[in-house]
């Protein structure tokens, strides 16, 4: 399925989830689909750490649902993160593995073993048991509402099989924020939403 | 009375709890085993053993954005692997982080495989302008709180480095 259309579908299904994007294409696609600059944290150039970042956030705010996007390029750099996720087993975390079978952020460069990587099987081998795979918008439209409404006890791993960005899509705007601005936009939003104090003065 | 390494672990845990640390993400170093064992048994903390040190940086940074206090605990060699994560996440977004590591490779560490840490660990921290405090004695453990609060003031990471004399004590079985 088309990468950006997939993200537009996710944006339609989203209600109040906090979102953490990974480096490169997922940030571009989510920005194109939502223009959200408050409840989404664009963790650019994080090279495999978006779901760890999201896990820390989900641990800290169990009353909030958190979606984390990660490309399969980032996943290949640190698949062991699934062991940590499985161990934490946070029911409010959904890890979306965006599988485009290339290093999308670097001009669709070759990904090692891209033809054979079975991400769902890798996740199963690490003990994850709530794993879904989507290969079409129709499939998502049919099953995603059920996934979202389910009352689950552990964290969820979703593989999205998408096409690499086209040359035109590679030119999609990056979220136009410097790091500190993003931190404060997201943090102030979360403070307002939950009443927590992230930046408050501490003695 | 001779102090034990368990006492040091308890003092470090108490200091971390006193400044509001809840999450501790760790990878082991032999010098740290009593500290790790102490925090994992202490219900004031959520202890997460991670697969690599960069994951600890990600977890702690995310926890900060959720208003949870945290600290990353690792060996010196582990620190040498996290420069990218620290500079890309904590420096770019100005996210505070307390990082605790061992001062491997200093005098008293007989392991030859830590010679590189002795040569380069502090220089690497200097190279990325990362402040650090060296804790060599039990009465210096309050520097943990001071460092933690400093990270919040400057919105940057800071490291506290534990020496062998602190963690293993002179005369203790060498490891």
Check residue B3 and give its pLDDT.
65
Quick: pLDDT tens for A73-101: 999 999 999 999 999 999 999 999 999 99
Residue A203 resides in a domain: no
Q: Examine residue A115 and state whether it is found in any structural domain, yes or no.
A: yes
Per-residue pLDDT at B39: 97
End-to-end CA distance of chain B: 23
- Would you say residue A174 lies in a domain? yes
Q: Would you state the pLDDT for residue B175?
A: 47
Residue A105 in any domain: the answer is yes
- Kindly state the DSSP code that residue B172 receives in the 8-state scheme: S
Residue with the two structure tokens 């979703």: A158
In a domain, A181, yes or no: yes
pLDDT at B1: 42
A162 within a domain of the structure (yes/no): yes
User: Based on the number of CB atoms within 10 Å of its own CB, is A153 exposed (0-12), middle (13-18) or buried (19 or more)?
Assistant: exposed
Asked whether the beta carbons of B64 and B56 are under 8 A apart, the reply is no
Q: Which of A60, A83, A187 sits opposite B68 (nearest CB)?
A: A60
pLDDT band (50, 70, 90) for residue A42: very high
Spell out which residues of chain A touch residue B68, defining contact as CB-CB under 8 Å: 56, 59-60
- What is the pLDDT, as a whole number, of residue B106? 87
Compare all CA atoms of chain A with the CA of B49 and give the residue at the minimum distance: A84
Range of the domain at A76: 3-194
Is position A22 within any domain?
Answer: yes
Average of per-residue pLDDT across A45-52 = 89
The pLDDT of residue A117 is above 70 = yes
Number of independent structural domains in chain A: 1
pLDDT at B171: 47
Q: Cβ separation of B54 and A44 shorter than 8 Å?
A: no
Q: Which fold has domain B5-165?
A: Rossmann fold (3.40.50)
- CATH code, domain carrying A91: 3.40.50.970
Helix (H) or strand (E) holding A181: helix A179-194
Q: How many angstroms away from the CA of B166 is the closest CA of chain A?
A: 28
- A161 forms beta bridges with A99
Tell me if ipTM is over 0.90.
Answer: yes
Please tell me the number of Cα atoms within 13 Å of B84 on its side-chain side: 10
pLDDT tens, position by position, A134-155 = 999 999 999 988 777 777 778 8
Q: Nearest CB to A197: which of B67, B84, B89?
A: B67
pTM of the model: 0.95
Asked if the structure places residue A202 within a domain, the reply is no
List chain B residues with CB under 8 Å of A46: 58, 85, 88-89
Domain locations in chain B as residue ranges: 5-165
**What residues 107-136 of chain B have any CB closer than 8 A to a CB of chain A?**
none
Mark the ranges of chain B whose per-residue pLDDT is less than 50.
Answer: 1, 170-171, 173-175
Q: What is the structure's pLDDT at A201?
A: 64
Q: What is the pLDDT of residue B16?
A: 98
């Amino acid at each position: 399925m088309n990468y950006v259309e997939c993200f537009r579908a996710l944006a339609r299904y989203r209600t109040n989830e906090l979102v953490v994007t990974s480096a490169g294409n997922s940030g571009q696609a989510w920005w194109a689909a939502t223009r959200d600059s408050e409840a989404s944290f664009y963790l650019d150039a994080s090279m495999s750490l978006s779901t760890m970042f999201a896990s820390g956030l989900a641990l800290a705010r169990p009353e909030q649902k958190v979606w984390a996007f990660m490309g399969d390029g980032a996943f290949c750099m640190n698949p062991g993160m699934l062991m940590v996720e499985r161990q934490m087993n946070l029911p409010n975390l959904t890890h979306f593995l965006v599988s485009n079978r290339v290093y999308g952020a670097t001009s669709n460069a070759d990904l090692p073993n891209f033809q054979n990587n079975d991400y769902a099987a890798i996740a199963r081998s690490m003990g994850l048991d709530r794993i879904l795979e989507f290969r079409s918008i129709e499939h998502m439209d049919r099953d995603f509402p059920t996934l979202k409404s389910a009352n689950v006890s552990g964290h969820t791993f979703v593989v999205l099989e998408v096409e690499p960005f086209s040359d035109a899509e590679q030119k999609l705007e990056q979220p136009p924020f410097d790091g500190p601005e993003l931190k404060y936009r997201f943090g102030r939003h979360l403070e307002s939403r939950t009443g927590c104090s992230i930046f408050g003065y501490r003695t | 009375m001779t102090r034990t390494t368990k006492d040091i672990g308890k003092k470090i845990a108490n200091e971390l709890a006193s400044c509001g640390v809840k999450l501790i993400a760790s990878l082991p170093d032999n010098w740290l085993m009593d500290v790790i064992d102490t925090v994992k048994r202490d219900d004031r903390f959520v202890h997460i053993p991670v697969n690599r040190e960069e994951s600890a940086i990600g977890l702690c940074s995310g926890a900060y954005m959720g208003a949870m206090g945290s600290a990353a605990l690792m060996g010196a060699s582990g620190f040498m692997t996290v420069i990218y994560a620290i500079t890309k996440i904590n420096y770019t977004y100005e996210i505070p982080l307390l990082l605790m590591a061992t001062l491997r490779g200093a005098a008293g560490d007989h392991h030859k495989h830590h010679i590189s840490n002795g040569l380069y660990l502090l220089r690497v921290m200097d190279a990325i302008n990362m402040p650090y405090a060296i804790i060599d004695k039990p009465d210096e453990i309050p520097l943990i709180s001071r460092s933690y609060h400093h990270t919040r003031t400057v919105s940057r990471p800071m490291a506290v480095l534990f020496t062998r004399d602190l963690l293993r004590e002179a005369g203790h079985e060498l490891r």
